[in-house]
Amino acid sequence: MRPKGPQAAVVTACLALAGCGTASGASTGAGALNVPPPRATAPASAPASVPPSVFPTTSPGAAVAERDDRPLKPLGKPRSWRITTYYTAVQSFHGGKPTPVRGCPKLHCSWGKTPLGSYPADFLKIIKIEGSGRITAGPHQGRYLNWSHSVGWWLDTTTRDSGARPLRAWGSAAADKDVLARGQRFTVTDCGRTPNGKAIPARVCDAFRKADWTVTDVFRPGYGGEHHADVYIGEETGPGFAKSPFYTTLRGATLGAP
């Protein structure tokens, strides 16, 4: 879900410097400025139709290593948080009619008209939801195609938060500034349940609980809300990633701060 205001902010900051490139957009890709997609719900276990590749391969262990042994202080009321997720799309996992894109060839620009190449329609659709996508073929292979309602399309070297910093998988988060301040670190201490009231699968909950999140982004006005945070889980790892139980919403979660 990428309802933050990264790219635009970054571009504005960069221009003055949208994610420079985040929804809960976060990679400061541009997704943050988009209406969040319907949340996926986590099944009790991974369905047989979902290939193993949809599970994240990035370990949150590095973030965990930074923690100390002091007890966590509760953030807000227990079981009151809604945690949504967003990710970076990967071109090779998507098909559809090749569609030409015009925009900015680099970050410090808005509503550019430069041809940026042609990409699968499905890939572009996901980028408009999540904010950014990694290009895997063509002259811009290895770069990122980002989108924002405020600045349009642009090419970048990474995904970014609204301060132009690269997003960290299982580390970067967004929230309204009057809910969680920039720089606020937090940990999910209780995953709550899925929007359908089902238990969060143990493997999924363990990943969220082990991660050490830091608020580096803000929502576009109207897309955040009280007790709502959006967390970045990195790049999709295979076709059908939207069916992964990690691309989910934690309702009634509990957060703690170091």
Assign 50 a pLDDT band (cuts: 50, 70, 90).
very low
Contact (Cβ atoms closer than 8 angstroms) between residue 43 and residue 204 = no
Share of the chain above pLDDT 90, in %: 59
Average pLDDT value over all residues in the chain: 78
pLDDT exceeds 60 at position 58? no
Give CA–CA dist 183/8, Å, rounded: 20
pLDDT exceeds 90 at position 218? no
Assign 56 a pLDDT band (cuts: 50, 70, 90).
low
Give CA–CA dist 144/156, Å, rounded: 5
Give CA–CA dist 227/229, Å, rounded: 7
Predicted confidence at residue 226, as pLDDT, reads 80
Q: Identify which of 158, 191, 169 has the alpha carbon closest to the alpha carbon of residue 59.
A: 169
Collapsing DSSP to helix, strand or coil, 92 comes out as helix
- Domain assignments of the chain as residue spans, ordered by start: 1-33+75-258
Assign 71 a pLDDT band (cuts: 50, 70, 90).
confident
Give CA–CA dist 50/143, Å, rounded: 28
Where is pLDDT greater, at 188 or 26?
Answer: 188
The mean per-residue pLDDT over the stretch 198-210 comes to: 97
pLDDT exceeds 90 at position 103? yes
Share of the chain above pLDDT 70, in %: 70
pLDDT exceeds 90 at position 168? yes
Where is pLDDT greater, at 2 or 28?
Answer: 2
Where is pLDDT greater, at 148 or 66?
Answer: 148
Predicted confidence at residue 22, as pLDDT, reads 33
What would the two tokens of residue 61 be? Answer: 């262990």
Collapsing DSSP to helix, strand or coil, 15 comes out as helix
What is the pTM (predicted TM-score) of this model? 0.77
Assign 161 a pLDDT band (cuts: 50, 70, 90).
confident
Q: Identify which of 207, 196, 215, 254 has the alpha carbon closest to the alpha carbon of residue 40.
A: 196
Contact (Cβ atoms closer than 8 angstroms) between residue 175 and residue 219 = yes
**Helices (H), ranges, 26-163:** 61-65, 121-130
Predicted confidence at residue 211, as pLDDT, reads 97
Least confident of 46-50, 70-74, 251-255: 46-50
Collapsing DSSP to helix, strand or coil, 33 comes out as helix
pLDDT exceeds 90 at position 97? yes
Predicted confidence at residue 221, as pLDDT, reads 58
The mean per-residue pLDDT over the stretch 230-257 comes to: 95
Predicted confidence at residue 178, as pLDDT, reads 84
What would the two tokens of residue 198 be? Answer: 């089902």
**Angle made by CA atoms 21, 25, 26, in degrees to the nearest 5:** 65
What are 2-26's pLDDT values in tens digits? 545 444 334 333 332 233 333 333 3
